[in-house]
Chain A
Amino acid sequence: MLYRLSKPTQAELLLQPESGMGYQLILANTKGGYQRKEYYLILNTELAIPIDRISNRITLERIMRESTYTNKNIQSISLTDIALDDKKSPLPLVNEFLFSKKQAARKNHPEPANGIERFIRLSAYNNDFRIDRANKRLLPGSYATTEIDYLLCRKNNDDPVERYALPNDYKIKYGFIIQPKSGDSLQRGIVEPANEKQGGGAEVYFEKGTSIGTFIQDFPYE
């Protein structure tokens, strides 16, 4: 479930610091009607997702994809008694998304892909050499970002070159969707500052690449 925040609520949230790049984690009451304090994930001070409605990472990805790509009317909501929550939320998924892996991907332990989660590789080149088109896979030693982080980047009109600390000489023109198979190994982390860029986006490193058939499609990045 996704809500669009009222203008007064947006104005109040802009006075609060971010919890991370492009989002805030807050505890708040809904204005009017039955009042109940709930945790919300706020995106770009504009959209609110009640955290207890997020049952898994896939649900979060779906909600964010819908918020970016559709124009369907989203119910408006006003929040009161807003408090920024700098402690871990009660939902493990959100903890994992927001608070863990605060260093470069290669410094973190590998974990298996779940076979459903998707990742996005951004590139200046349609003939990106890390995409093995013959076998439809990502080559070993390659980086991508999470679909959630990519959607956050688009939603917030962030500069991907800054967010993913890419070389100055780079202009993102293409995206490649990767859906690793269950058991493909990956390492999650946060892009550390590099190339005179601040980084801060999510990065995922595939030391062994991905299985055959995991490169889904490419798309123009506009």
Chain B
Amino acid sequence: MPLRTLNIPANFSKLLAKFPESGMGYQWVKVILKNGAIFPKHKVLNSSILVLEETDHFSELDILTIELEK
């Protein structure tokens, strides 16, 4: 199955780069969409590339905010 990814808008990238990594080169995040939908436990690579799961169907324009998973 080819990898599905989304380039995160630059403002969120800059924010994520200020937060700690979960491991070398990646962070676990929660994505919150403008319609209220929440997508927990997603990986972001290099603070800029969101790895999508099979059932994820949204674009970068749908993203309200991205938070680091605790």
Interface residues of A (CB under 8 A from B): 121-125, 127-130, 139-145, 164-167, 169-170, 191, 194-195, 203, 207
Chain A residues with Cβ under 8 A from B47's Cβ?
A: 129-130
The reply to whether A169 and B21 contact each other, CB–CB distance below 8 Å, is: no
The residue of chain A having its C-beta at the shortest distance from the C-beta of B17 within the complex is A129
In the assembled complex, how far is the CB of residue A108 from the closest CB belonging to chain B, in whole angstroms? 15
Contact of A130 among B3, B17, B43 (CB under 8 A): B17
Count of B residues near A, CB < 8 Å? 19
Complex: A207 Cα to B24 Cα, angstroms: 13
A121 contact set on B, CB distance < 8 A: 24-25
Find the B residue at minimum CB distance from A195. B23
Known: A130-B17, A169-B3, A169-B45. A122 touches B24 (CB 8 A): yes
Query: In the bound complex, do residue B19 and residue A141 qualify as a contact, i.e. CB atoms below 8 Å apart?
Result: yes
Given contacts A123-B46, A124-B46, A125-B46, contact A170 B17 (CB under 8 A): no
Residue of B5, B18, B45, B48 with highest tally of chain A CB at under 10 A = B45
Q: B residues bordering A, Cβ < 8 Å?
A: 3, 5, 13, 16-21, 23-26, 43, 45-48, 51
B contact residues around A129 at 8 Å (CB): 13, 16-17, 46-48
Which of B5, B25, B51 meets A123, CB within 8 Å?
B25
* Most A C-beta atoms less than 10 A away, residue of B5, B13, B46: B46
Closest residue of chain A to B24 (Cβ to Cβ) is A143
* A77 to B17 Cα, complex, angstroms: 49
Known: A125-B46, A144-B24. 17 other contacts (CB 8 A): A122-B25, A123-B46, A124-B25, A124-B46, A125-B25, A129-B46, A129-B47, A130-B46, A141-B19, A143-B21, A143-B23, A145-B24, A166-B24, A169-B45, A203-B23, A203-B24, A207-B20
